[in-house]
Structure 1
Amino acid sequence: MKNTVAILEKPGKMVIKETQMPTPKDDEVLIEVKYVGICGSDVHGFEHGPYIPPKDPNQVIGLGHECSGIIKKIGKNVRKFKVGQRVCIEPGVPCYTCEFCLSGHYNICPNVDFMATQPNYRGALTNYLTHPEAMTFHLPENMSLIEGALVEPAAVGIHAAKMAGDLLGKSVVILGAGCIGLMTLQACKLKGAAKIVMIDILDNRLNKAIELGATATLKGNDPQLTEKVKSIVGEYGADVVLETAGSIFTAEKALEVVKRRGKILIVGSIAGGVPVEFLKINREVTIQTVFRYANDFPATIDSIANGDFDVDSIADRFFNYQDTQKAFEFSVNNKKELIKGVIKVAD
């Protein structure tokens, strides 16, 4: 077996190079990668370099962390898996010993080794990778490998809705109708939200939001946006507002459309400072950041397998592994034609 890896040679340039075949440790599995989703953080990394630059300027940087594949080898202590089984992976490997891991919140482990970022910057865009058994998950027979690669972003939406608390009968506004916004939409529906308003500037995303069950959609550049939101959810605003676009504009807009005693959840990664006019929200509004997921993969897989969560239709553009450079260029330059890109590494 030969192994290659797609690496970020410099911002704007991905190259595929030969690399060593990894050997699984005693508690690891060797996976032949089949599909890798292109995350917004990957696109940012392609354009500008990683959100958290490596300390070593010679650090090899890989991209991709949403992946599925087939087990090819198992370590001697592995019990859950056999060669040939289809799996997806949770890309963060926590330390399991800090106070956050021990309390069940391993997603905020300060020592986590998360794919395509610090400390090792290893990406999923490779033919073969090793991963701990504990962070590897079976795919049910009725789930495709494409769906398996999209468990990771779906888990972000599931976790965000869980962090929002009780949503039964509540009004929800989601700012950003990209992949994460659409996953969050579905998760809020599963939790019983009565009204869900999706906001974005791209028609293809808003059309998909309606397909997936949004109550209404609004254009983010509408000068009457705040008034129109309140005409749908009520004069005081929404019970819950989720920011999933990762922009200062949407974070500021969240302050305008949230109800008194409502809750704002910041799901997107926002670069730069967000000015907060506290007089606008000095009505017992809660602002909560949301970071990845914790213990959410099993429920996410079940929701997809049961048909309660549609990830398949969100993936609307596929690229071959050898065209990784073109895949990222397309993701940067054709956002009006793209909701979610997926790279097929192997048949």
Structure 2
Amino acid sequence: MKNTVAILEHPGKMIIKETATPEPKAHEVLIKVGDVGICGSDVHGFQHGPYIPPKDPNQTIGLGHEMAGVVEKVGADVTKFKVGDRVCIEPGVPCYKCEFCLEGHYNVCPVVDFMATQPNYKGALTNYLTHPEDMTYLLPDKMTMVEGALVEPAAVGIHAGEMAGDLLGKKVVILGSGCIGLMTVQATKLMGAAEIVVIDVLQNRLDKAKELGATAIFDGREDNLVEKVKEVVGQYGADVVYETAGAIPTAKMALELVKRRGKILIVGTIPGDTPVDFLKINREVSIQTVFRYANDYPKTISMIASGKFDVLSMADKYFDYQDTQEAFEFSVNNKSDLIKGVIRVAKLD
């Protein structure tokens, strides 16, 4: 079987080159890749290189970790899958030995091998890849391949919702309505939030947030924004504020919008130092970072398959695999015309 891989030749330039087809180990499956979602971290990697640069400057950098495909071959000891099964993958492979893994929090495993980042920087933009059986999941017949690829960002939103605890009747503000913000909108709605206010600067994303369950939307450039939001959530602010944009200004805004004894959840990846004025939140406000997901894939798949969680309508731009360079350029330059891009390595449904 011929195999190719899309790699980051240098920031701003993706190339596709031939590579060997991997052979599955005993507990691995070989997957023919179908659809791959373009994550914000992929776009950052395309523009600037990985968030965590490799130690070896000659390291090959792959991109993409939101993936679904079809099982092409199974390792000798695989029992859960057979050739032809439609699957998606959880892209992080933990060690299963450290204290965090043993406690069930494998998402924070110190040596997790997460796709498109350290230590191997292996991306999903390839024709064939191998993956451990226990981090591979069968897709229900009613789910499309695109929905399978978008299980990964949906799981981020569901994990973020769960990290806030009881949301029934609570008032929530979500800063940022990119893919993860929109997934968080749906998760908090399903968990019973009474008010879901979304703030962004792109109207197409705000409109989608409203469609998916936001009760109020605001342009982040409006004057007196904090006061306007508090007219919706109450004079003291929101019970829970999610930062999903991965930006210092929105992280600072969260301090203005959270109520006393409320919670701020940092879901976005914020580079650099973020000043925190603790005088503004020294009324027993909790700040919690959220990192990926753990043990959330089965419920996420079930919720998408049931129709309760909509990921399909978010995928509004598709690119062929050979147009990977164009896909990333479009993602960088056309954010007002894009919610979620998907690269079709192979059309499998």
Query: For 1:139-178, what aligned pairs fall within 5 Å after superposition?
Result: 139-178=139-178
Aligned partner of 1:282 in structure 2 is 282
Query: For 1:233-244, what aligned pairs fall within 5 Å after superposition?
Result: 233-244=233-244
Query: For 1:69-148, what aligned pairs fall within 5 Å after superposition?
Result: 69-148=69-148
Matched-pair identity in %: 75
Q: Provide structure 1 residue ranges, at least 5 long, that are not aligned to the other structure.
A: none
CA-CA distance at 1:249 after TM superposition: 0.4
CA-CA distance at 1:223 after TM superposition: 2.2
CA distance in 1: counterparts of 2:345 and 2:210, whole angstroms: 31
Aligned partner of 1:185 in structure 2 is 185
CA-CA distance at 1:222 after TM superposition: 1.3
Aligned partner of 1:265 in structure 2 is 265
Aligned partner of 1:338 in structure 2 is 338
SS at match of 1:130: strand
Q: What amino acid does structure 1 have at the position aligned with 2:279?
A: L
Matched, 1:316 2:316: yes
Q: What amino acid does structure 1 have at the position aligned with 2:269?
A: S
SS at match of 2:100: helix
SS at match of 1:80: coil
Q: What amino acid does structure 2 have at the position aligned with 1:297?
A: Y
Query: For 1:224-235, what aligned pairs fall within 5 Å after superposition?
Result: 224-235=224-235
TM-score (norm 1): 1.00
Aligned partner of 2:254 in structure 1 is 254
CA distance in 2: counterparts of 1:123 and 1:135, whole angstroms: 16
1:107-135 deviation line (CA, Å, top 9, x unaligned): 00001000000000000000000000000
Q: Provide structure 2 residue ranges, at least 5 long, that are not aligned to the other structure.
A: none
Q: What amino acid does structure 2 have at the position aligned with 1:85?
A: D
Q: What amino acid does structure 1 have at the position aligned with 2:224?
A: Q
- Aligned Cα RMSD in Å? 0.4
SS at match of 1:21: coil
Q: What amino acid does structure 1 have at the position aligned with 2:318?
A: F
TM-score (norm 2): 0.99
CA-CA distance at 1:235 after TM superposition: 0.5
Aligned partner of 1:31 in structure 2 is 31
Aligned partner of 2:297 in structure 1 is 297
CA-CA distance at 1:213 after TM superposition: 1.1
SS at match of 2:157: helix
Q: What amino acid does structure 1 have at the position aligned with 2:170?
A: K
1:50-108 deviation line (CA, Å, top 9, x unaligned): 00000000000000000000000000111100100000000000000000000000000
Q: What amino acid does structure 2 have at the position aligned with 1:274?
A: T
CA distance in 2: counterparts of 1:291 and 1:122, whole angstroms: 20
Aligned partner of 1:211 in structure 2 is 211
Aligned partner of 2:201 in structure 1 is 201
Q: What amino acid does structure 2 have at the position aligned with 1:261?
A: R
1:26-60 deviation line (CA, Å, top 9, x unaligned): 00000000000000000000000000000000000
Matched, 1:65 2:65: yes
CA-CA distance at 1:263 after TM superposition: 0.1
CA distance in 1: counterparts of 2:223 and 2:13, whole angstroms: 38
SS at match of 1:317: strand
Aligned partner of 1:5 in structure 2 is 5
